[in-house]
Amino acid sequence: MSETVLSIRNLSISFQTSNGMVNAIRGLDLDLHKGKTVAIVGESGSGKSVTVKAIMRILSGNQKINSGSITFNFDSGDEKISQDLLKLSKKEMRSRINGRRIAMVFQDPMTSLNPTMTIGKQIMEGMIIHLNKTRAEAHERALELLRLVGISDPENRMKSYPHQLSGGMRQRVVIAIMLACDPEVLICDEPTTALDVTIQAKILELIKEIQARTHISVIYITHDLGVVAKVADYVAVMYAGKIVERGTVNEIFYDPKHPYTWGLLSSMPDIGSENEKLYTIPGSPPNLLHKIEGDAFAPRNVHALKIDFKQEPPMFKITDTHYAATWLLHENASKVEMSETLRRRIDKVVKEAGRDGENTDLASY
């Protein structure tokens, strides 16, 4: 396995609210490998955004990091550095890490763009501040970046303001800005949700192409498993502030073990079969204001065992890369498999994503 760029261990984060403490992240472990994409998937409120905002240390004022570490391994040019990001001040994060080594693309490109500044200036700014490039060098590189993200006539586009571009073009510009300082890590938080389907596909393609060229490591947040099938190498499935299953994209799509993962996969939109009713996981996520007893998913799990309501399951190992936190994997539990309907639906989504047959591993399932 390639080297680990980011390694999150036992991360726990709460938010102080007028109703009490919301325990949003409850002991989270996650690894990101060099040149690879890990997709974090999960229902709304499961903690995907809080996790990546913690990496960038851009959480709101009412946050409290209770425990954990976020180790970032990078090459400073002179030496290899291993830094716990939680030990840096916000000021150090801004000057040394954010935008320079770890960059983030948000759902709405306007969050990252300044409406009063030309896009050329915005792409050049980071390079002048962080990399001490001259204006001429930054200008040259900005043109290259605009070409890289597929924007034609870059000389003229440099002079445009964000409102003169379409949504898809703005997101391309944001990606160019984020790549300007050659970051080691790119975090994408639902970057295509606001865009129409064809533009979405183009942006996903673009991120993959850039990754193939630059070996950047990518964290991709989405609740669309069709997108996961297109972009991810590894998948981390999140529920109530924890990773409950993780594995390679093949392991998660072809041999999912957690009933919550089955539920997420069952609720994937299935293009082409309008008659088939979309499944929704019954019930709702737990209230994170209260202490959770046992497995947080138990009340929604038709396969729940008695122990699920009493004791939290550990991460059971399935392969060296595949782990799931469900008591169903205990040797004494009776064997429960996902349904045939779900199997067929998954096969279809993987086929639509163009990933079937990509990896010989697939044949072994």
Ligand X SMILES: Nc1ncnc2c1ncn2[C@@H]1O[C@H](COP(=O)(O)OP(=O)(O)OP(=O)(O)O)[C@@H](O)[C@H]1O
- Cβ-proximal residues to 79 (8 Å cutoff; 6+ apart), any chain: none
**Position 313 contacts ligand X (CB under 6 A):** no
* CB 237, min distance to ligand X, A: 11
Can you tell me the distance from the alpha carbon of 6 to that of 327, in angstroms, rounded to the nearest whole number?
29
Q: Is 220 in the site for ligand X (CB under 6 A)?
A: no
**Cβ(115)–Cβ(108) below 8 Å:** no
Contact status: 191 vs ligand X (CB under 6 A): no
Q: Strand 20-33's sheet: what is its strand order?
A: 20-33, 4-17, 63-75, 80-84
Query: Does residue 44 bind ligand X (CB under 6 A)?
Result: yes
Tell me: does residue 42 bind ligand X (CB under 6 A): yes
Burial class (CB in 10 A: 0-12, 13-18, 19+), 291: exposed
Place of tokens 């759902």: 107
Among 37, 38, 47, 231, the residue binding ligand X under the rule CB under 6 A is: 47
For ligand X, give the closer residue by CB, 12 or 83: 12
Among the listed residues 5, 8, 22, 219, the single contact to ligand X using CB under 6 A: 22
Interacting residues with ligand X between 325 and 364 (CB under 6 A): none
Q: Which of 45, 99, 120, 286 binds ligand X (CB under 6 A)?
A: 45
Label residue 273 left, alpha or beta by phi (over 0 means left) and psi (-120 to 50 means alpha).
beta
**Residues in 269-288 that interact with ligand X by CB under 6 A:** 288
Span near ligand X by CB under 6 A; candidates 16-24, 160-168, 179-187, 201-209: 16-24
Rounded to whole angstroms, how far apart are CA atoms 349 and 253?
A: 9
Nearer to ligand X, 42 or 256 (CB): 42
Residue 102 or 179 having the CB closest to ligand X: 102
Q: Which of 5, 6, 11, 15 binds ligand X (CB under 6 A)?
A: 15
- Lookup result for tokens 């949504």: 167
Answer yes or no whether residue 46 interacts with ligand X by CB under 6 A. Answer: yes
Residue 362: how many other CB atoms lie within 10 Å: 14
> Would you tell me which residues interact with ligand X (CB under 6 A)?
15, 17, 22, 24, 42, 44-50, 60, 62, 223, 288
